[in-house]
Chains A and B, each alone.
Chain A
Amino acid sequence: MTARDLIPIAVLAVLAALLPLVVTSSPVMNFLVFTLIVALGAQGWNILGGFGGQFSFGHAAFFGTGAYVTAILQMRYGVNAWAGLLLAAAAGAAVAWAIGFLSFRSGLRGSYFALVTLAFAEVFRILANATPVTGGAAGLLIKLEVHPANLQFADRAVFYWLVLAFVTGVLLLTRWIQRSRFGAQLVAVRENEDAAKALGVDSLKVKLRAIALSGAVTALSGCLYAQYFLYIDAHIAYGSWISVELLLAPIIGGVGTVFGPVVGALTLHGLGELAKQFAGRIPGIDLIVFGSVLVLAVAFARGGILGLLERLRDRGRGLVARGAKEVSHAGR
């Protein structure tokens, strides 16, 4: 990675970190924290779905695992929340690797892979809803004990910085993936798996590595969700809503790009909040916006928002170049 790769990420991270000094309203901070948690999970999805081209419809399986592992360890076994964070990421990676091993070894791709991930997430949801260790249908409450060791802070801004640090870390991670040999192999598998294999890429190994990384990152976001809202149940942690959220953000923002998931999550939730402000108390109005934006994005902006911006920039450059040519012609 070069300085040119790092500077935009660093500048944005610093700007975002300064935000709590300007914004003090707690609904806005809540919105930012929640959106960043979604963005983090979406970054996880993007590693597998964006760079690897394997569209998962069941990332809730990893999100929920992260949330439950940290909550159960902390509440039932008194494990320190920071250690729980690491263990949650490890658990997410393990679950993801196992699901990936089963499905990729059977050669599932495209729609079939989407369906099998969806089914795995549902199995987890039903199990979490029925077993005692997860608190069953009543869910799990994390005790409110404000202390940095418990990942609970008196000031919301601290939690915001924590989530922001993770998002920035994963931005760097994805930038590294993009520049690395592993990333190149992953993209090769996405573009044409048979050709990649013919060139000696061990496609199973590459895909497994991607899904494990993806699962770990998404589990982290689940863990942060549990620690921020202090309550989870099977429908929150393993529900299809989160699978959809995590896939929408990268697709809207720009699939397979470093900033796409973050841009997408901010745009979607920004639009959702706007719709709520305008439409008032209509239930589901933000989701109506999400769905419409998804259809519109697929129809008119295939690279998402970032793709659209790039195209505009190229067109702008084209215009400038053409303009310069005409000027030079006229000058002759």
Chain B
Amino acid sequence: MYSPQIILEAALNGLMTGAVYALIALGLTLIYGVLHIINFAHGALLTCAMFAVWIAWAWLGLDPYLVIVPLVPLMFVLGYGLQRFVIGPASHGDDGNILLVTLGLSIVLENVLLAVFQSDTRTLDTDYSFQVVALGPLLLSFPRVIGLAVAVVVTGLLWLVLNRTDTGKAIRAVAKEKLGANLVGIDVPHVYAITFGLGCACLAVAAGLLMPTFYVNPRIGSAFVLVAFTVVVLGGMGSLPGALLGGLFIGVVESLCGLFLGDSLGQIGIFLIFIAVLLVRPTGLFGAKA
């Protein structure tokens, strides 16, 4: 049997992994809430951001946390451009089409990365990668504690942007009533693109937080994006607090399933939750009625 301390440590570790899931899901849920689309390219975009962090470390010797600062605007611009000039025009405003266009984009991005970087797995090491923080009898990984803190702060910032700025007001208006927003003079394609950009900016933060303890290869994004879908569905599509809590919850579930069932079966808990939520309550725990 497992001692309570091991279980508690696994749960806390899961909580901190969950924080990064939450960040990834935050971008996804924001895009879903406003554009009402499922962004299949989210995973590939995360992979791009992770490679950017790795390159900055390997070629320029920059600290991964520091890279977050320039990477956030860069990913914002990339996301803005993609939605404004590729996804928007190519999909003619039809939901099924958007699904397909983002799927096509993700295939292209993933395989361009594969062509450039080959399928090797890359890691980076920093002084603090293996540092631990003692919390009473528990030992917690330092980069993961940072991850949890930053995830909470970013969720708060995003909430402030949405609720306290004019842009945020415009975003919420478009999310609620696209036609009405257009009538009062809001540039809907611009707001769509800004939302997509914000979603991608979240990925930049997630990538910077992940890299000190994780690895990157061209296919890594798809593993995260499935988990992020689960988080988004669980938390309620479009709900920011739902994404944060859902992410933390899924992190704990994954960690505990991994402890009890072994690594290869560990992920199954996530997908069973995913299917169960979709079948029983597709609006999620925090979502508004569809």
Binds B, one of A10-18, A63-71, A283-291: A283-291
Residues of B within 8 A of A118 (CB): 226, 229
Chain A: interface secondary structure?
helix
Interface check A282, CB cutoff 8 A:
yes
CB proximity of A6 to chain B, nearest CB, Å: 32
Q: Per-residue 0/1 for A98-125: is the Cβ within 8 Å of any B Cβ (1 yes, 0 no)?
A: 0000110010101110111011101100
Count class of interface residues, chain A? 35 or more
Interface check B267, CB cutoff 8 A:
yes
Residues of A within 8 A of B119 (CB): 283
Residues of B within 8 A of A282 (CB): 115
| CB-based nearest B residue for A107 | B282
Interface check B112, CB cutoff 8 A:
yes
User: Are B99 and A288 in contact (CB-based, < 8 A)?
Assistant: no
Interface check B129, CB cutoff 8 A:
no
Complexed CA–CA distance, A126 and B262 (Å): 12
Interface check B133, CB cutoff 8 A:
no
Residues of B within 8 A of A103 (CB): 278-279
Complexed CA–CA distance, A291 and B86 (Å): 13
Interface check B55, CB cutoff 8 A:
no
Interface check B70, CB cutoff 8 A:
no
A126-B267, A295-B101 known; 17 new pairs, CB 8 Å cut-off, are: A103-B279, A115-B38, A119-B229, A119-B230, A122-B267, A123-B268, A137-B264, A251-B100, A283-B111, A283-B119, A284-B115, A285-B115, A287-B107, A287-B114, A288-B107, A288-B115, A295-B86
Q: Per-residue 0/1 for B89-127: is the Cβ within 8 Å of any A Cβ (1 yes, 0 no)?
A: 111100111011101111110111011001100000000
Interface residues of A in 72-112 (CB under 8 A from B): 102-103, 106, 108, 110-112
User: Are B90 and A295 in contact (CB-based, < 8 A)?
Assistant: yes
17 A–B pairs (Cβ distance < 8 Å), ordered by A: A102-B279, A106-B280, A112-B278, A118-B229, A119-B275, A122-B226, A122-B271, A123-B272, A126-B265, A126-B271, A244-B103, A284-B111, A287-B110, A287-B114, A290-B107, A295-B90, A302-B92
